[in-house]
Copies of this chain bind each other. A is one copy, B any other.
Amino acid sequence: MQTVNETKRRGNALPEKFVFSFGGGSAEGSTNMKNILGGKGANLAEMASLGLPVPPGFTISTEICTLYYENDECLPESVKANVLSALKEVEKIMGRGFNDPGNPLLVSVRSGARASMPGMMDTILNLGLNDTTVEGLAKVSGQSRFAWDSYRRFIQMYSNVVLGMNHNVLDMTLEDLKADKGYLEDTELTEDDLRSLVASFKKQVTLETGEKFPSDPTEQLWGAISAVFKSWNTARAKTYRQIHGYPDWWGTAVNVQAMVFGNLGETSATGVAFTRDPSTGEKTFFGEYLLNAQGEDVVAGIRTPGPLTDKSAEGTEYTSLESALPLAYKDLVEIYKKLESHYRDMQDLEFTIENKRLWMLQTRNGKRSAQAAIKIAADMIEEELITEEEALLRIDPMNLDKLLHPTLDPKADFVRLAKGLPASPGAAVGEIVFTSEEAEMLKDKGKKLILVRIETSPEDINGMVASEGILTTRGGMTSHAAVVARGMGKPCVAGCADIEVNYQKGEMKIKGKTFKAGDTITIDGSSGEVIEGEVKTIPPQLGVEFKSLMQIADRHRKLGVRANADTPKDAKLAREFGAEGIGLCRTEHMFFDAERIDSVRKMILADNLHERKEALRELLPMQREDFKALFETMEGLPVTIRLLDPPLHEFLPQNDSELEALASRIKQPEDKIRTRIQSLHEFNPMLGHRGCRLAITYPEIYQTQARAIAEAAGEIVKLGKELTPEIMIPLVGTKAELERIRRFVEKEVILVQEEMGVEFHFLVGTMIELPRAAVTADEIAEVADFFSFGTNDLTQTTLGLSRDDSSKFLGPYVSSGILERDPFVSIDQKGVGALVKMGSELGRRTSPHLKLGICGEHGGDPNSIEFFHRVGLDYVSCSPYRVPIARLSAARAALLEKTKLS
């Protein structure tokens, strides 16, 4: 037998073998011959080799496609000879004859390339019918109408695909007849109608093509095979190959297979089955069938299919296949068990029973719900059908997200109003509210709310907490709304550009339709959809199999998984989801609390060091209590606290009324506040006076934060608990910055330890979130105990791309393939990733055991996690709801690496 040929055939010599039969319990081809049999041919060969009752047929190899083109688009005689001899085999197995008027064999002719190119190439069914064989089919099936309907369909298909006629010509004839008779549906056509249609179809073919419609089945076959080869080079097929990078020289194979019929009376049937329940994953045989029907009838939904098993038919009006055709059912059960253990995965089967004889049309790995995927994987490990490794590799980590959030009821009908970015998963229903203040107020009155904003700012945190979900009209996947919502586990649709919000009027417009505050909408943060009114949602469920799989993942992964959490509530959730520490606690989120914001503002408005220290003194005890609560929750695990990062103007009032209120509360002149706001204005705040730059100007801010951390840690340690606070300095670009800040932060912590008479281990490290930090990481590592890559900001600076602005123009970038993925969702491995790699290598060159983590949004993205594993980071940190995804992704990354190495 010819070996698999990976390279292009040259010259037009025929290969040794090029027609491969299958069926009757065996096959000449095999599953590893995809290159010459195509995907479909190889699968059919595999099923046949397993001894399954596959309708017999044969595959003409892809090499003949190349030869066909080299041979001026003619089929060589030796090919025809081989095909005819293979056809003889099929006749034998089916007990029917090609062009046999008594018991005619009909075949399908299908394309099949190495890789699936769905809908790109042509198919012909019911080939072999002519004016005499149609009568044979009518007699054998006992259904004249069916036979003539098949015949007219065949003529329509063949004249279009093989003869190149415009399909409208025959379609019009059909429609004219229906109109004459007053029919609405094709099913109303009588046998006589169909007979007359066949006659007029044939006339029209002659008129259009100048030749008679071929009545010789063999001639039909050569036409169909040629047509399939030709369809390899249609414009749409070429474009498809270009997009997917498939070379032209692959060529397509041609599969010729006997037709079987499930509609030959009450001993025939057709159906689909799953070897396990695809919704729940339960280990029960699951499926539907229809007696006396073709496959398309099951899909069409005109008749309601019945269940396969007696058990599932219990208490219903339906008869099961088990009862209706017990012998065929028994064969089916035997086969499904065989298939599952052969493919070692849940299978999705299609079958037809023709006169009590079971034929298997297709088997493939079945699609399943997220929940089912978990249960099936866990069960199959239990059954020793698959290994732990296989189980982990079979679950798409992103599917876990669906288990953790409410989802829209798939049975619900609804109309989509608009679509934004799927910024934070889960579905939520609520009344529209446009301001955070109102949200807080209405929440207290028991309302369920969706907060709708053009964009959110840190001032909206409480409004976001009070709402079921968040909808914004600007901003991308890492906009403020998106990041914070993901952290909270709240559904969020961001950057929904079709919505125009008018705060003054308290309304929004979507494509001309107006919605007022108080109107109910539903959002789906998993799909980005915005829906009018209330849609039923399904609450999340986590089963015992979920836990068990997570534990298996933990055994296989090398990467640690921490969470980004700012509050004890987030931290608790993170621990429950299996986080091994906090990788990022953003202290500024604590600053926005209503009780504190005025102290923060006093600090910012201070005219001198004395006033600033005064204001910081007010903040100190509050911060200390925050940290204490966080440390208690995370007892025994590391907690990384990032000192103040955002530019100061973010904390000041955003409009005049807020400004006036503040002025009167803190008893300072409005003008002074206004001037300060103006002086803090920046053209590019992202690249401005923020992060550690604030601490170079105002060291007392970080000093106070260091003291709050140290005092909180001291109190915890005094209670005999264990703790290692990790103090993290943001936006470091040079060693000198970190060196200077580290000095006074360390001094403050040691001072507190002396004051309190306690000792605890603590680390001072830095974010690597500027290209310069990555490029000079060897120097920075001299003064850092750890690095945490801040890939959000590193993406912004490396790509020169503002996450707040890019949603306006990034769409076309991704859709047209300039960028593979939104770089704020999945790390840009070539650019940003290269800097992460460089930073890691340079850092470890200075300190071989330097602890390396990542705390950008990419910490929860499976592709990015695989990359971080390869780079050799110690841990990823992500929002609590992403922790399970990260655990599984980390395990998969370790397994994939092992596979590649072995």
| Interface set of A (CB-CB < 8 Å, partner B) | 682-689, 693, 696-697, 731, 733-734, 736-737, 740, 769-772, 775-776, 779, 793, 796-802, 804-806, 808-809, 812-813, 816-819, 828, 830-832, 834-835
| A697 to B801 CA separation, bound complex (whole angstroms) | 15
Contact of A684 among B737, B802, B818, B830 (CB under 8 A): B802
Instruction: Please tell me if the beta carbons of B731 and A800 are within 8 angstroms of each other in the complex.
Output: yes
| A775 to B828 CA separation, bound complex (whole angstroms) | 12
Please give me the residue from chain B that is nearest to A479 by CB atom: B683
Instruction: Please tell me if the beta carbons of A687 and B805 are within 8 angstroms of each other in the complex.
Output: yes
- Chain B residue numbers with a CB within 8 Å of A687 are 684, 686-687, 796, 800-802, 805-806
Instruction: Please tell me if the beta carbons of A805 and B740 are within 8 angstroms of each other in the complex.
Output: no
- Chain B residue numbers with a CB within 8 Å of A800 are 686-687, 731, 733, 769-772, 793, 797
Contact of A804 among B684, B806, B813 (CB under 8 A): B684
- Chain B residue numbers with a CB within 8 Å of A696 are 809, 812-813, 816, 818
- Chain B residue numbers with a CB within 8 Å of A733 are 799-801, 831
| A685 to B687 CA separation, bound complex (whole angstroms) | 11
**Among A686, A736, A800: residue with most chain B CB under 10 A:** A800
- Known A770-B799, A812-B697, A818-B740; contact A776-B830, beta-carbon cutoff 8 A: yes
Instruction: Please tell me if the beta carbons of B688 and A771 are within 8 angstroms of each other in the complex.
Output: no
Instruction: Please tell me if the beta carbons of B686 and A771 are within 8 angstroms of each other in the complex.
Output: no
Instruction: Please tell me if the beta carbons of B688 and A806 are within 8 angstroms of each other in the complex.
Output: yes
| Subset of 13 A-B contacts with CB under 8 Å | A683-B805, A684-B804, A687-B805, A689-B809, A693-B809, A696-B813, A696-B818, A740-B818, A769-B800, A772-B830, A775-B831, A775-B834, A779-B830
| A170 to B688 CA separation, bound complex (whole angstroms) | 55
Instruction: Please tell me if the beta carbons of B770 and A805 are within 8 angstroms of each other in the complex.
Output: no
| A296 to B631 CA separation, bound complex (whole angstroms) | 70
- Chain B residue numbers with a CB within 8 Å of A813 are 696
Please give me the residue from chain B that is nearest to A734 by CB atom: B818
| A682 to B474 CA separation, bound complex (whole angstroms) | 11
Instruction: Please tell me if the beta carbons of A771 and B831 are within 8 angstroms of each other in the complex.
Output: yes
- Known A770-B799, A802-B684, A805-B684; contact A737-B697, beta-carbon cutoff 8 A: no
- Chain B residue numbers with a CB within 8 Å of A685 are 683-684, 805
| A798 to B772 CA separation, bound complex (whole angstroms) | 5
**Among A684, A770, A802: residue with most chain B CB under 10 A:** A684
- Chain B residue numbers with a CB within 8 Å of A808 are 689
| A28 to B54 CA separation, bound complex (whole angstroms) | 110
* Smallest CB-CB A-B distances: 10 pairs: A772-B831, A687-B802, A684-B802, A771-B771, A736-B818, A683-B804, A688-B805, A770-B800, A682-B805, A684-B686
Instruction: Please tell me if the beta carbons of B771 and A835 are within 8 angstroms of each other in the complex.
Output: yes
- Known A793-B800, A809-B696; contact A737-B689, beta-carbon cutoff 8 A: no
Minimum distance in angstroms from A867 CB to a CB of chain B: 15
- Chain B residue numbers with a CB within 8 Å of A686 are 683-684, 687, 800, 802
- Chain B residue numbers with a CB within 8 Å of A689 are 805, 808-809
Minimum distance in angstroms from A102 CB to a CB of chain B: 63
- Known A737-B818, A776-B830, A818-B736; contact A798-B799, beta-carbon cutoff 8 A: no
Beyond A736-B818, A769-B800, A770-B800, 10 extra complex contacts between A and B, CB < 8 Å: A684-B804, A696-B809, A697-B809, A731-B800, A734-B831, A770-B798, A772-B800, A772-B831, A772-B832, A797-B800
- Chain B residue numbers with a CB within 8 Å of A682 are 802, 804-805
Instruction: Please tell me if the beta carbons of A772 and B793 are within 8 angstroms of each other in the complex.
Output: no
| A209 to B776 CA separation, bound complex (whole angstroms) | 57
Minimum distance in angstroms from A648 CB to a CB of chain B: 11
- Known A771-B831, A798-B775, A800-B770; contact A819-B683, beta-carbon cutoff 8 A: no
- Chain B residue numbers with a CB within 8 Å of A769 are 800
| A686 to B683 CA separation, bound complex (whole angstroms) | 8
Minimum distance in angstroms from A767 CB to a CB of chain B: 11
Minimum distance in angstroms from A843 CB to a CB of chain B: 15
Minimum distance in angstroms from A323 CB to a CB of chain B: 60
| A798 to B683 CA separation, bound complex (whole angstroms) | 17
- Chain B residue numbers with a CB within 8 Å of A804 are 682-684
Please give me the residue from chain B that is nearest to A733 by CB atom: B799
Instruction: Please tell me if the beta carbons of B830 and A775 are within 8 angstroms of each other in the complex.
Output: yes
Please give me the residue from chain B that is nearest to A680 by CB atom: B808
Contact of A683 among B736, B771, B772, B802 (CB under 8 A): B802
- Known A689-B809, A805-B688; contact A776-B831, beta-carbon cutoff 8 A: yes
- Chain B residue numbers with a CB within 8 Å of A830 are 772, 775-776, 779
- Chain B residue numbers with a CB within 8 Å of A809 are 689, 693, 696-697
Minimum distance in angstroms from A175 CB to a CB of chain B: 38
Minimum distance in angstroms from A380 CB to a CB of chain B: 42
Minimum distance in angstroms from A846 CB to a CB of chain B: 14
- Chain B residue numbers with a CB within 8 Å of A775 are 798, 830-831, 834-835
| A337 to B835 CA separation, bound complex (whole angstroms) | 60
Minimum distance in angstroms from A813 CB to a CB of chain B: 7
- Chain B residue numbers with a CB within 8 Å of A684 are 684-687, 802, 804-805
| A736 to B831 CA separation, bound complex (whole angstroms) | 13
**Among A733, A736, A812: residue with most chain B CB under 10 A:** A733
Minimum distance in angstroms from A858 CB to a CB of chain B: 15
| A835 to B835 CA separation, bound complex (whole angstroms) | 11
Please give me the residue from chain B that is nearest to A772 by CB atom: B831
- Chain B residue numbers with a CB within 8 Å of A834 are 775-776
Minimum distance in angstroms from A338 CB to a CB of chain B: 48
- Chain B residue numbers with a CB within 8 Å of A772 are 798-800, 828, 830-832
Minimum distance in angstroms from A739 CB to a CB of chain B: 9
- Chain B residue numbers with a CB within 8 Å of A683 are 685-686, 802, 804-805
